Amino acid sequence: GKLGHRLDALRACDKVSFCVYDEGYTEEGDWVKNVRSVIVFGRVEILDDAGLIADITARLSRKFTQDEEYIAEEIRNHGHLTLLLKLVPEHICGKLVKES
């Protein structure tokens, strides 16, 4: 949504981090799981260009459906409610963690 604590916090301070990690793997004969992760540190930009929002949401929607009429209708009806945030990376790091 376009209102709420998250957006208030981002307007006050645009610094963020975003972490992703894989499902991990276990080496043969071992019981511990090895997990790889990546953290992106950067700043968030709030996108408010209606044309850009429509373009990005249409491209994302095509990953789930090829029904162009449906996509256009959803953007027409709900595009004005859509909030897009852009993460601009400043630093990226990754690591492998072996649980114990």
Q: Residues 58-81: pLDDT tens digits?
A: 999 999 999 999 999 999 999 999
Whole-number average pLDDT of the chain: 93
Residue 63, CA distances (Å) to 43, 50, 56, 69 in order? 27, 21, 11, 15
SS3 helix, strand, coil % of the chain, rounded to 5?
A: 35, 40, 25
Backbone angles phi, psi at 43, to 5 degrees: -125, 145
Q: Does residue 100 surpass a pLDDT of 80? A: no
Q: pLDDT grade, residue 31 (50/70/90)?
A: confident
Q: pLDDT grade, residue 39 (50/70/90)?
A: very high
Task: Enter the tokens of residue 53.
Answer: 């929002």
The total number of residues shown for the chain amounts to 100
- With CA atoms as reference, report the closest residue to 36 among 60, 53, 19, 14: 19
pLDDT in tens, 4-16: 898 999 999 999 9
User: Do the Cβ atoms of 33 and 91 come closer than 8 Å?
Assistant: no
Residue 2: the pLDDT is 82
